[in-house]
A and B are shown apart, each in its own frame.
Chain A
Amino acid sequence: MSRTHSRALPELGLGIQVALASRITRLRTVLTAGGVALGVIVLALAASVPHAYSARKAREHASTPVFHGGSGRLRLLSGSTSFRGVTIGENAVQVTGASADGPVPLPPGVRQLPGPGEMVVSGEVLALLRGPHGAELRRRLDARVVGTIGDAGLSEPHDAVIYRGSTALTALGEPTVGRFGGRGSPSPTPVLITLLVIMIVVALLLPVAVFVATAARFGAEERDRRLAAMRLVGADRVTTARVAAGESLFGAVVGLIIGAAGFLAVRVPVAHINVAGIDVFPADLRPSLTFAVLVALLVPLSAVAATLISIRRVAIEPLGVTRRGTETRRRLGWRLVAPVIGFVLLAPLLGSSDRLAGAFGQAEATAGVVLVLVGVTALLPWVVEATVRRAPDGPLPWLLAIRRLRGEEGTTGRVVGAIGLAVAGAIALSIVFSAAQSDVRVRVTPLQARLLIVDMSASTPAGARRELGALRGVPGVARVSGETEHLRRATVVDATVVMRSAGDQGAVAAVRDRAAALDPLAQVMPMVGGGSEAHTLSDLRRVLFAGAVIVLLMIGASLLVAAGEGLRERRRALAVLAAFGTRRSTVAWSMFWQAAIPVVGGLLLAVGLGIALGAMLSAVVSLSPQFDWGAIGLMLGAGVAVIAAVTGLTLPTVTRMMRPEALRVE
């Protein structure tokens, strides 16, 4: 083996040693590991969604009865009831014949079918029955619990489902079940939800990537000086690259391990978070093996690549570090490429939501959204530079800030770009959410919102008429209309109940209770189901804003670290300023302006691109854009608050560095 290759591991090891050697390198390692871990958790959760979705569908299919027209022994009638916001899946079952007539198919998770007056229930229903409102529910589900349904019979941990023994199914002519485990492909995820999930993942993941890149550059000047010292004692360029790679590789691998452990730890609570009315079994929340291998390889490699790219920008020589090339003005042209391509990709999807249902359309939408958001980070350094270049000289704090921004390498621009990206993503999403919620409200007329459909049965036509009359007497009911149909051995009732007011949940529950008392197999359904869609959107919106706040806090931490680093590197200049008698407030204001100029530029750009993207995405799903100025203002305010907090938190360091003793530095 050549010396070059045989030395690779010890040199990487030296980098790892350096990663743990000093406060600064340890801090960089912690930041890199933290960013990578967060990225891995977000990625792994996002990559688990397809499996969780298919696993959920597989569970649903496993419990789906396959009916046949022959002489099976199990009859089953499925329905549902709603109790205090929980939808309970009701399955009435009736076993007929003798064991000699053949086996009875068992639904998954059920050990023994309940007889008349008995029921087996899921854990969720059992908890409801034992809860404070158990007595109320027992009036509706009036049967003895003889067993619980195992996880195999549930589509999600909090699935509320029962199997109740019945004697009426034969009379109603319900078909017999041949087996459980239906065939058929799962229904695709709704287009709007797909788009929103894509947006949330992109809006959360890109700032994490920016954070990791910023962390990789943290302390870069010191690292370069250290590598120069190593060059002096004989390290060649390959060796210095390996030492630097080992340093960042260590942080990335630690982050990968923490991220993997963090994913395993958070998937249990995350799985139980009810988002859009859905929760999943933690075991179902797992990414594919291919994804795991890809992340395990690509995450450390990208951290190493970020480091190697950053050291390629400087010439690390034995006598010190010099920058390569000359300072060039940032060009606008290529920075516009990403957002323009993004909008071009989204344009064909306008008003053609069918296209979005396909894999190609989703890839197009994802790429479009990613490129527009990446555009924020690409454009921001140019915006900052253009602003700073044109900014007139002013008071001393302003002058110091402008000159510092002119001289720096765009670190602030990159970090603020992440804020801009999060804000643009959140604004775009808020517009789509508002449009979707407004659409749900518009689609439901006031009369529709007051209607309930009730299906019941009775043994005689007279009994059916009595049931209709009993519904009219329920408090909150304005009128009841309906028709009865006499079958061979039973009479079925289809009733439409008009409530006095929409949204009176107490009155709806009373109708359900009365119907259940009249016929245990009764089904009560609202005329329109828009409520659950609105609920879904509202849930997603909460998740989005929680995510955006977490991202902003992370970026704030990143900015704080970068500001601290900047101050440390400028301690000599600060000491000189102090020697001249410069006031601390002057330096503090210059710090404020130094952060505020890029942030204001970033936020303005983010608002513009976010509004454009939101309007376009609304059009993609055929909705009129609704600008939620409150949410936009909230995100802007959060961005400004982050910057104010960062400035405030750096003030103690400024004060410390400008004490007379600090002059010793000079």
Chain B
Amino acid sequence: MSSATVASEAIPAEVGRPLLECRVLVKRFGQTPALDGASLSLGAAEIVAVMGPSGSGKSTLLHCAAGILAPDAGEVIYDGREVGRLPDSERSRLRRSEFGFVFQFGRLVPELSCAENVALPLRLAGVPRRRARDQAGEWLGRLEVADLAGRLPGDVSGGQGQRVAVARALVTGPRVVFADEPTGALDSLNGERVMQLLTSAARQSGAAVVLVTHEARVAAYADREVIVRDGRTHAR
């Protein structure tokens, strides 16, 4: 392991105790190693870019950090709790109320309108339909796509769909947003706009962001960068 490996990654002093911490994660898919001792820490309201070439393990790191995948070894501590030990229902609750997600292709539910997609996490959390709809409309407005409220995801462009996905990620007031190549399927103009909206909205609402990308101009929106190579993390 190189000297730059951040098995105990330094946390910026101004951020304080990490909100989310991944410690020496190992993850294999069959015989293929994806993570080989990767670590990551994230302070409250911090935006961290996770960079690296294709197949380096950055998406797997994000999935483990979000409790979507269970690491084979190592631990993920969120707000003092080890995520890997939580039951599925509790991890689902985290995704529903404390985490938000933005993926490369939006992952919107095609059968629901854009507004219904944004309202979905609220409804899953038990928010009454009318209130969920109002909050969804408000967030669509903040992401400049209020006019798409009634349209189905299949009827909007990629950039518009990503803005809807960002609205969905932020509507519950999450403490952490996980964004996996959020601009990967967009042209540069749309990519820039989505990043501006994502980071400014996250900063306004005080959400931390884990931003997986291989584009330097996207990583530039982050407070700091972590490099993943061959399943290991390195500070830049």
Contact = CB atoms under 8 A, between A and B. Distances in A.
A21 B109 CA distance: 10
B125 A229 contact: no
Contacts of B96: 233-235
Contacts of A22: 110-111, 152
A634 B116 CA distance: 52
A238 B89 contact: yes
A234 B97 contact: yes
Contacts of B89: 236-238
B112 interface: yes
A239 B92 contact: yes
Contacts of B69: 319
Q: Which of B69, B93, B101, B110 has the most CB of A within 10 A?
A: B110
Interface size class of B (residues with CB under 8 A): 20 to 34
Contacts of A17: 112, 116
Contact of A226 (B95, B97, B109, B129): B109
Contact of B125 (A25, A222, A234, A317): A234
Interface string A212-225: 00000000001000
Nearest to A226: B109
Contacts of A25: 111
B214 interface: no
Interface stretch (A3-11, A268-276, A480-488): A3-11
Contact of A234 (B63, B116, B121, B129): B121
Interface in B179-231: none
B68 interface: yes
B92 A229 contact: no
A14 B116 CA distance: 10
B95 to A, nearest CB: 4
B48 interface: no
Contacts of B123: 10, 14
A231 interface: yes
Given A318-B95, A319-B68, A229 B109 contact: yes
A239 B68 contact: no
Contact of B112 (A11, A18, A237, A317): A18
Interface string B91-123: 011111101010100011111100010001101
A3 B112 CA distance: 24
A236 B125 contact: no
Contacts of B88: 236-237
A55 B83 CA distance: 67
Contacts of A319: 63, 68-69
Q: Which of A7, A17, A234 has the most CB of B within 10 A?
A: A234
B101 A232 contact: yes
Nearest to B120: A233
A234 B124 CA distance: 7
A319 B124 CA distance: 18
A336 interface: no
Nearest to B174: A234
Contacts of A21: 111-112
Given A239-B92, A318-B95, A319-B69, A230 B107 contact: no
B81 to A, nearest CB: 17
Interface residues of A, number: 27
Contacts of B94: 234
Contacts of A6: 126
B5 to A, nearest CB: 27
Contact of B111 (A18, A231, A317): A18
Contacts of A3: 126
Interface in A4-44: 6-7, 10-11, 14, 17-18, 21-22, 25
B58 interface: no
Interface string B59-96: 00001000011000000000000000000110011111
Contacts of B121: 233-234
A231 B68 CA distance: 10
A232 B112 contact: no
B142 to A, nearest CB: 18
B88 to A, nearest CB: 6
Contacts of B110: 22, 222, 226
A229 B107 contact: yes
Nearest to A4: B89
Contacts of B92: 231, 234-237, 239
A17 B119 CA distance: 13
Interface string B144-166: 00000000100000000000000
Nearest to B63: A319
Nearest to A25: B111
B93 A234 contact: yes
Interface of A: 3, 6-7, 10-11, 14, 17-18, 21-22, 25, 222, 226, 229-239, 317-319
7 A-B pairs with the lowest CB-CB distances in the bound complex, closest first: A234-B96, A236-B92, A21-B111, A234-B95, A22-B111, A233-B121, A236-B89
23 contacts: A3-B126, A6-B126, A14-B123, A18-B111, A18-B112, A22-B111, A25-B111, A226-B109, A226-B111, A229-B108, A230-B120, A230-B124, A232-B103, A233-B101, A233-B168, A234-B99, A234-B121, A234-B124, A234-B125, A236-B93, A237-B89, A318-B95, A318-B101
